[in-house]
Amino acid sequence: MTETITGTRWPLARPYRLSLDSFARITGVHPELIRRLVTLGLLEISRDAEGALWFDPSQVREMARIQRLHLRLGLGYASLGLVMDLLDRISDLERSQRSRSERGPRWT
């Protein structure tokens, strides 16, 4: 896989997906907690034919977000799904509002 970076093509060595052990090692989170977060629907995964968990590399950022919210808000992991959903909706609304204001006033 290659990606254009400032006009130059560089081969990317990023894995397409991470195993549970790799994901746990990268994030510093115990695999059992990761399984729990998957069960709660806080992390997106794919499973192979044997049922093993595989993570997209973007989920590393999501795990950091989960840990940050858990520590700062003092909420249990089960509550974080609702909080994260609300934060995502707020971000979507703010983006929508910015794009409307950038287009200028509507003339009717």
Q: What is the pTM of this model?
A: 0.72
Neighbours of 1 (CB within 10 A): 7
Cα radius of gyration rounded to whole Å, the chain: 18
Alpha-carbon span 3 to 5, nearest angstrom? 6
37: CB partners within 8 A, 6+ apart: 43, 63, 66, 77
Q: Could you tell me the domains of the chain?
A: 15-103 (1.10.1660.10)
66 CB-near residues (< 8 Å, 6+ apart): 37, 42, 43, 77, 80, 84
CA–CA gap between residue 85 and residue 66 (Å, rounded): 12
Express each pLDDT in 41-98 by its tens digit: 999 999 999 999 999 999 999 999 999 999 999 999 989 999 999 999 999 999 998 8
